[in-house]
Amino acid sequence: MIDEWVPANQSSTSIAPALLQQCIAVTAIMADSSNRAEQELGEETLKQVRSWLQLSEEQWQPTLKTFKADELFQLATFFTLAEMTFSGWQCGAKNPAIWIFRVLKKNGQLPEKDAIRHLKSLTDNRYIPYGSAL
């Protein structure tokens, strides 16, 4: 079956920090149980957050500025794991984790190299953490 294209509405283009906080809250359990994370977030929340995968880095910036460095790293972890575990979340070079790492780098708040290596080991997305080399 071919899905019908529906243009993004206002709710899908404005990122809700409260929903991202919910994503942060389930990050710790995602590595062990993606099913439990899915249940805790709920179908509607996952659908809304997944719609933000289509947004540009510029659209993410205002929201990312509202989070602390440790929250940003947890959020990057969430999007990295979500891409690997949830159907329809594959986004390659447009993974929000990349936008998050750019913010952390710009602010001089990158986590320890071991933490970054560990996160990279959890994904087959070659663009994480910093995006395309070009």
Cα separation of 113 and 44, whole Å? 35
Domain ranges in the chain? Answer: 16-121
Please report the pLDDT score of residue 34 as a whole number.
74
Does pLDDT of 5 surpass 70? no
Cα separation of 61 and 131, whole Å? 16
Does pLDDT of 110 surpass 60? yes
Please report the pLDDT score of residue 114 as a whole number.
97
Give this prediction's pTM: 0.88
Region 21-27 average pLDDT: 95
Residue of 2 and 57 predicted with greater confidence: 57
Does pLDDT of 47 surpass 60? yes
pLDDT band at 4 (very low <50, low <70, confident <90, very high): low
How many other CB atoms are there within 10 angstroms of residue 76's CB atom? 25
